[in-house]
Amino acid sequence: MNLSRRSFVKSSVLAGVFGLNSTAELLRARGAAVKIGATDWNLRQEVKADAVGLARKIGFDGVEISLGVGTDRLPLSAKEVQRQYLEESKKQDLPIASTCLNILHRNYLKNDPLGKRWVADSIPITKALGARVILLPFFGKGALTTHEEMDYVGDFLKEIAPEAEKAGVVLGIEDTISAEDNVRILERAKSRAVQVYYDVGNSTKGGFDVVKEIRWLGKDRICEFHLKDNPHYLGEGKIDFPAIVNAIIDIRFSGWAHLETDSPSQNVEADMGRNLKYIRDLFARKG
C-alpha cells in the first residue's frame, strides 16, 4: 500500500473538503492495495443479496458470498438469483469479491465425488458474478489430516485448474494444515489458479506462527485472507494484528482481506463496524 502516514493525514483533510466522510471512501478513492470485505455469513445474510447492501452500509469495500447448499444444484446457479446479486452490486457500487463453496462442509472434497462436482459447478457461477476467488473449505470431518488426503485433493485440483484458469478465477484452499502442507497441495496442482486462502484465526488456533507463514507463503501463493480472533473484537484477543498487517504489507499483497468476525454484542452492524475501523486504521497507519 502506497499510503504513508503523512499522506493519509493530508488526504483526510482533503476528504473533508471533497465530501469523502469515511476512511473507507478515502482508501477506495486512493486505490488501496488491500481491500477489506465482509463474509455474508458473519453479516447474517447467508445466500441473501441483502448482504451486499448491508456490507456497503457498514462501510466495507466488498462482500464474500456463500454459494449455498442444495441437492441437485447450487442455489446461486439460478440465473435469476445471480441477476439479483448483480443488480444489488451495481446499485450499491460494491463488488462481490469472492464466493464460498460452503456445501463442501457437507460433501467433503477429500473423499466425496459430489464435492468434485460442486467445485466444477462453482466456477461458472463465480465468473458470472464477477468474483475472482472461490473459497474451498476443509474443516470438521472434511479436514485434511494425512498426506494421502492432501495428494488426492491436489490431484483433483490439477484436473480442474484449467477450467478455473479459463474462467479467470482462483480456487482458494482454506484449511487447518501448515503452510508447508498447503504448498504441498499447490505444487501438486501445478497451477496459478490454485492458491492458499489464509485464515489467521484458524492458523493461530492450529498453533502455527501466522506472521512467519504469511511471509514465507508470500503474495504469489495467497489469494485472500480471513481476519478474525473470535470470540473477541479485533485487537482485544491474543492475535497480534499489528504484526499481521505489517507482514501483509511487507509481502506486497494486493487483494482482499475479509472480516470473518463474530458479533459479541449481537449487533452485527456495530460489531462489524468496530472491527472494520480497527483493521482499516491499522493498514492506514502502517501502510
Tell me the pLDDT tens digit for each residue of 14-27: 344 333 345 455 54
Q: Please state the pTM of the whole predicted model.
A: 0.90
Assigned C-alpha cell, 71? 441437492
Residue that is written with C-alpha cell 470438521 in the block: 140
Tell me the pLDDT tens digit for each residue of 191-231: 999 999 999 999 999 999 999 999 999 999 999 999 999 99
**Gap between the Cα atoms of 96 and 52, Å rounded:** 8
pLDDT tier, 287 (very low <50, low <70, confident <90, very high otherwise): low
**Are residues 69 and 100 in contact, defined by beta-carbon separation less than 8 angstroms?**
no
Quote the distance between the C-alpha of residue 215 and its chain's center.
18
Which fold, 33-286?
A: TIM Barrel (3.20.20)
Tell me the pLDDT tens digit for each residue of 43-101: 999 999 999 999 999 999 999 999 999 889 999 999 999 999 999 999 999 999 999 99
Burial of residue 51 (CB within 10 Å: 0-12, 13-18, 19+) is buried
Residue 201's nearest CA partner among 175, 164, 171 is 175
**Gap between the Cα atoms of 168 and 172, Å rounded:** 13
